[in-house]
Structure 1
């Protein structure tokens, strides 16, 4: 192995991201290091007056094939991979006139950004870096002697090390690990793009990668470690949001905020979703956000305390005033006007997240969940029912208002943990039953909470009276339907498909309620 401190006598710099480039190069030059570079990097250094030598001049071999081949030569890779502690390596390097390269600074062609920009296939392919990953991997492999920089954020540490005479083995080892993580992520992004081009999002080999955005205080519980990663997809949400104010987000905050924002994006009219422990406890649409908030809060004002609030319109001051009147952990919206931000600034601990847009509920994507020894991957639940395609199976058809509420309730049920039962009336939830082992229990719990909410509002009649109900999956028995009837619902929407559908339909007819089948279920475990 090499000495602990490795001086930098020769450095190779080839970067697409020029952030911090001049500071790094000047520090190296000040230490007397020879700088080799290519293309735009060499030009930037030369224009700034930093001594630089073109790689093609150093190797005696020109850049060819429109720059596709410039560093893939023995003079470069031999200088990086040659071991200083092996006499045989040193002898071969002298024989072939190969000089040692002590530092490699490379960041890759911006393939991920190119794909995210919607560029055509040819442009994406041209932004697949070949020489860069080869240089990075070579330098990382020989980290006993060579330091590799793959992120401008590392430059400051390297510059500080130069003041101490060079890099330590600990630094080179840490940077080598980061280098392999970077090339792994890069290759994963390329593999995912090719899978998408081939129409096979769930390819035989599935590479999962992300860029750590933040180390969290802890996970779901204080004894668990956690971090937040961005996958580079740019889907509007927590990962794209700017946090305007408030404490740092916790693991549970992030999980719940994501659930709330994905749910609120389902609706075209101004909508508010209140989430507690990843389940909606109040959802409503209205002529304004303020009106939608009033109706969403009525569904379950107890659970709303300490909840997450998502909006699908820019937050205004009137709505901000109402939301901030109760304890709220997070508000997430596409934007917020100045008056709303000024008002919320009085609540120092309340987190306000502005995402810049809404996620597309119908967009493709992959959802991943870990299991012991592996993970499950599936396409995002982008299913959306079309009212004209719903099948009326009862003697009574739903009224126009009932049909509108049925569609609303089923969209909410998509975002409630299974088994899910959602009661709704006039574009607002009036009862939510989530996560029960029995569908009938979900129906009864939602009705019970509806009664509690009615009493809190000074009403004698449960909110479910005169409502409609949605079930995320079929009723295995008629008892679930009967519980909904007992709660006072007048119409039901459910996927159908049970071997006892006829019994359930007969129970609906006996109760005089309407029922429609979707043919689509929305399990959410």
Structure 2
């Protein structure tokens, strides 16, 4: 008689699956809660203790780690010496294993879970059985995912056994599964031990979606989610309407919600090709939208919009007039949703903005042959700690506007220059090989809107005084920059020449 060993934490669809195995002549070995559930359903089982001749010990930590289990899984039926050894030692072959593991991930996702509870949810016997069965896939069928029950039963119904091709695929799935399981444990224990840069970096992600295409239409692409994603992330946004997000949509949406995270007051972020094209703030979200739109009414076309307040009807009516790719907000009033949903391709997403200040995970960026890992740039800065380096000091109002511009330039591709007033960004120069070109682009966009409230932020220091001079000649009254150039004195002298108030932060915000 064929034998199946069944021991699962997730008992979804278990009874129908095992019932079919019994119909196909399998003898069922089981243990613990799985055995109880099967016998309650009227399915006869053999206990693991009966197979091993050894009792479960150490509060269940040891029950299947036994030669009568692993010999039955690893013994090769095509090797006479294996077959002879198994007969001599009275080890019966096990032909199918259905195991899923202690819920370690679900345990550590719980708030305030204690360390001891986490440790007790590290499965040892389960991964061992899975790996033994998967290694011997020529002879053993191994099932780790309830979604594969139907495939196994279909093949048993059609041919009386599973195909080698199926067993091979199920085997590979097991090793992916146990690798991901071990990665979660390794990362959790490393964090608990406060290991900042482990010598081996083990990451695990789960397939979320297959993209229609990648960055360009000839590129294939897939979207994987972190196994333990943060609440405030594009992977946890809920799509209410519109067509599937594209590869570029996801990158842009991620960049946009990073910017929105910076602001507490009602704020609208408009983003295009990974750069903000307009940021507006006000006491009401409709007015914040007006200001973000006014910042660059051309570039916003086809952009991604993030609002950190619920979308009302008036704001929705204004956005509906434009072609937009994505709108992300904490929610949509019913009438606002109705009008926006008239555009069948417009993606409408909700996100929990209450979680925007949760601790950020490290960023991982791929390069050919490796990965770069760094902390996210979530530094909170106090303008009261900035240094005034010019004869004129910024007013309190200017200081708050400088902080607004500083938050915006932080999320603009370097070399980055942002010109802003108290209400919105006025001009943004991004991604130029030199800083003076970024300055000229920002001034060009802002020109007619520059007034006595206008300030300029630079993500890194000025290598020469030309940016300061150009800004001064076009009406800028205050500047914030990191400082640190060997020619800082030249930029400071130029600011003093034009009566500009300049502050340095001591912190650079490159974004490559």
Cα offset for 1:361?
5.0
Unaligned runs of 5+ in 1: 1-7, 452-460
TM-score, reference length from structure 2: 0.95
Q: Does 1:50 align with 2:46?
A: no
Determine the structure 1 residue equivalent to 2:245.
249
Match of 1:83 in 2: 76
Distance 1:241-1:22 versus aligned 2 partners, 3 A rule: farther
Distance 2:33 2:307 in 1: 45
Q: Following the alignment from structure 1 to structure 2, what is the Cα–Cα distance between the partners of residues 480 and 74? A: 75
d(CA) in 1 for partners of 2:13 and 2:186? Answer: 30
Show the counterpart of 2:138.
144
Alpha-carbon distance change, 97 to 333 in structure 1, aligned in 2, over 3 angstroms: farther
Structure 2: how far apart are the matches of 1:427 and 1:66? 63
Aligned to 1:508: 495
Question: Which residues of 2 match residues 393-472 of structure 1 at below 5 A?
Answer: 393-451=389-447, 461-463=448-450, 466-472=453-459
Q: Distance in 1 between matches of 2:398 and 2:406?
A: 12
Matches within 5 A, 1:199-238: 199-235=194-230, 236-238=232-234
SS at the partner of 2:234?
A: coil
Alignment of 1:223-302 (within 5 A): 223-235=218-230, 236-302=232-298
Relative to structure 1, the CA distance from residue 317 to residue 396 in structure 2 (aligned partners, 3 Å threshold; closer, same or farther) is: same
1:476 is aligned, of 463, 485, 502, to: 463
Scaled by the length of structure 1, the TM-score of the pair is: 0.93
Distance 1:358 1:136, change over 3 A: farther
Find the aligned partners of 2:325 and 2:36 in 1 and give their Cα distance: 50
Q: Distance in 2 between matches of 1:347 and 1:384?
A: 38
Q: Distance in 2 between matches of 1:484 and 1:151?
A: 62
Q: Is the 8 A contact 1:476 1:498 kept in 2?
A: yes
C-alpha separation in 2, matches of 1:225 and 1:405: 43
In structure 1, the partner of 2:323 is 327
**Which deviates further from its counterpart, 291-300 or 483-492?**
483-492
Aligned to 1:382: 378
Post-superposition Cα deviations, 1:196-224, rounded to whole Å, max 9, x if no partner, equal 12222321111122111111111101121
Note if contact 1:362-1:383 (Cα within 8 Å) is conserved in structure 2.
no
Please list the CA deviations of residues 223-261 of structure 1 after superposition, one character each: whole Å capped at 9, or x if unmatched: 211100011232122111221111111100111011111
Change (3 A) 1:446 1:11: same
Change (3 A) 1:82 1:496: same
Moved more, 440-449 or 22-31: 22-31
One of 104, 108, 112 as aligned partner of 1:111: 104
Whole-Å Cα distance in 2 between the matches of residues 340 and 151 of structure 1?
41
CA distance in 2, matches of 1:318, 1:63: 67
Partner residue in 2 for 1:67:
60
* Residue 156 (structure 1) shift: 2.0
**RMSD of aligned alpha carbons:** 1.7
1:102-181 pair list within 5 angstroms: 102-118=95-111, 119-164=113-158, 165-181=160-176
Preserved contact between residue 265 and residue 358 of structure 1 (Cα < 8 Å): no
Partner of 1:455: none
Output one character per residue of 1:107-152: Cα deviation in whole Å (capped at 9) or x when no partner. 2222222222231221221111111211121111111111222222
Deviation at 1:330, TM superposition (A): 1.0
C-alpha separation in 1, matches of 2:474 and 2:135 = 67
CA–CA distance in structure 2, aligned partners of residues 319 and 51 of structure 1: 64
The separation in 2 between residues aligned to 1:377 and 1:423, in whole angstroms, is: 31
How far apart are residue 269 of structure 1 and its match?
0.9
| CA distance 1:351–1:32, shift in 2 (3 Å) | same
SS in 2 for 1:515: strand
- 2:299 pairs with 1:303: yes
CA contact (8 A) 2:75 2:86 kept: yes
Hey, what's the Cα distance between the residues in 1 that align with 2:309 and 2:106? 27
Cα distance change, pair 163–418 in 1 and its aligned pair in 2 (3 A): same
Give the direction of change, closer, same or farther, for the CA distance of 1:290–1:83 in structure 2 (3 Å limit).
same
Give aligned pairs, total. 509
1:457 aligns to what? none
Equivalent residue for 1:29? 22
- The DSSP-based 3-state class of the residue aligned with 1:328 is coil
- Residues in 1 aligned to 2:134 and 2:234: alpha-carbon distance in whole angstroms: 33
What CA distance in whole angstroms lies between the structure 2 residues aligned with 1:389 and 1:326?
A: 41
Deviations 1:464-499 (A, max 9, x none): 764111111111111122222233221111111111
| 1:335-414 matches, cutoff 5 A | 335-357=331-353, 360-361=356-357, 363-414=359-410
Q: Give 3-state SS (helix, strand or coil) of 1:230's partner.
A: strand
